[in-house]
């Protein structure tokens, strides 16, 4: 195949993607990894396997094209690869470690890392961020074992490595992991001045009412544009419970009002959702009243969490914000929620 740089330039010339100097600048790093992985491994009695290439830690602001570049890179890699959201991967690791402990092994990380290394040569993560102490305490040994087994890691993040698990409990125990990332991965800031996600939403409505077939069509069109490919379910573990977003891709989540507010979820659950998503799409928000008071309270808590985290909200609803909650206990408190819903529709909000 042609190298990634030539392929990118060809797609840009054809109008398939928009050329961006900041994106083009990092392409040699992706090509370095792709070509190293593509090189044939010559085996022999006295021949040592080639050392795995350094990975890539690509960080930068939201909407700069990190996930698009990852899609582009992964689609041109011909070795076994796993593309997965970092949070979802860590949940899988915890589950696998729990299963390993049931067999009586003394060190659960070793067999779990060996299983991962046996299945892939490349791990491609979206959104590396670490806020949970249980993650922070195992990633160092986990990644050390993966690197030792020859697994290459490429990840995106909104944070420079030094800011991972910032102000976290017992952070001094986490610092060797940061040093390991810097040693085994090239750290690169994608410093594009363009926020493509905001640009795609610029001037476009983000609140659709009433929630009819036309609203659904418009929501589907926005989802297709922002997600940019096949989505999957995202399971978040919060206090030993699982909170599920039915659809998730590239930092964009989608769920119905029923998924988020008709189930017994609380502030910690909504904070986890707000942390995982840069954009959240909510379908079919109904009119609220004393008949669905509990759902209304949860909705207020959800909007507060999204607002404080500056998550971009796109939704379909039965009425405009000021007309959603007209009677019953809680109408006065909902005035602030209606105001926040209005503010979250404003141009550039969440940038």
pLDDT value of residue 112: 95
pLDDT value of residue 282: 97
Of the chain, the end-to-end C-alpha distance in Å amounts to 38
What residues in the chain have per-residue pLDDT under 70? 1, 41-50, 194-203, 348-351
pLDDT value of residue 347: 73
pLDDT value of residue 154: 97
Q: Read off the pLDDT of residues 15-50 as tens digits, 9 standing for 90 and up.
A: 888 888 999 999 999 999 999 998 876 655 555 556
Asked whether the beta carbons of 279 and 254 are under 8 A apart, the reply is no
Domain pair 4-189 / 196-343, same fold: yes
CATH topology of domain 196-343: Rossmann fold (3.40.50)
Any residues with CB less than 8 A from the CB of 110 and at least 6 apart, and which? 145
What pTM, to 2 d.p., does this model score? 0.70
Any residues with CB less than 8 A from the CB of 174 and at least 6 apart, and which? 130, 136, 137, 139, 140, 164, 165, 168
Q: Using the structure block, give the residue that is written with the tokens 């990633």.
A: 139
pLDDT value of residue 277: 87
* Dist. CA 312–CA 172, nearest whole Å: 33
Written as six digits, the tokens of 10 are 């060809």
Assign domain 4-189 to its CATH superfamily: P-loop containing nucleotide triphosphate hydrolases (3.40.50.300)
Secondary structure (DSSP) of 293-342 = HHHHHHHHHHHHHHHHTT-EEEEEESS-GGGSB-SSTTHHHHHHHHHHHH
Q: Read off the pLDDT of residues 113-158 as tens digits, 9 standing for 90 and up.
A: 999 999 999 999 988 888 778 888 899 999 999 999 999 999 998 8
Domain ranges within the chain, ordered by starting residue: 4-189, 196-343
């Amino acid at each position: 195949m042609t190298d990634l740089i030539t392929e990118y330039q060809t797609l840009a010339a054809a109008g398939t993607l928009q050329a961006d100097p900041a994106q083009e600048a990092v392409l040699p790093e992706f090509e370095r990894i792709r070509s190293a992985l593509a090189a044939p491994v010559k085996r022999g009695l006295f021949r040592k396997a080639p050392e795995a290439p350094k990975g890539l830690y690509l960080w930068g602001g939201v909407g700069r094209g990190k996930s698009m570049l990852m899609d582009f890179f992964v689609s041109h890699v011909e070795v076994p690869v796993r593309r997965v959201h970092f949070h979802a991967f860590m949940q899988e690791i915890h589950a696998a470690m729990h299963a390993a402990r049931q067999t009586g092994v003394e060190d659960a990380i070793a067999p779990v890392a060996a299983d991962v290394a046996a299945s892939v040569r490349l791990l491609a993560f979206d959104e590396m961020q670490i806020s949970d102490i249980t993650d922070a305490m195992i990633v160092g040994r986990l990644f050390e074992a993966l690197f030792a087994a020859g697994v290459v890691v490429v990840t995106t993040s909104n944070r420079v490595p030094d800011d991972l698990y910032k102000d976290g409990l017992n952070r001094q125990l986490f610092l060797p992991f940061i040093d390991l990332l810097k040693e085994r991965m090239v750290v690169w800031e994608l410093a594009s001045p363009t926020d493509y996600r905001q640009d795609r939403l610029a001037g476009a409505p983000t609140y659709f009412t009433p929630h009819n077939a036309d609203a659904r069509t418009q929501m589907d069109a926005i989802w297709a544009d922002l997600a940019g490919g096949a989505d999957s379910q995202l399971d978040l573990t919060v206090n030993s419970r699982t909170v599920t977003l039915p659809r998730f891709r590239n930092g964009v989540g989608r769920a119905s009002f029923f998924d988020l507010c008709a189930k017994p979820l609380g502030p910690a659950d909504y904070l986890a959702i707000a942390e995982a998503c840069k954009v959240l799409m909510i379908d079919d928000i109904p009119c609220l009243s004393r008949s669905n008071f509990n759902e209304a309270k949860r909705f207020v808590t959800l909007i507060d969490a999204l607002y404080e985290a500056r998550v971009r909200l796109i939704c379909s609803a039965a009425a405009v914000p000021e007309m959603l909650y007209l009677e019953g206990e809680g109408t006065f408190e909902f005035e602030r929620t209606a105001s926040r819903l209005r503010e979250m529709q404003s141009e550039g909000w969440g940038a």
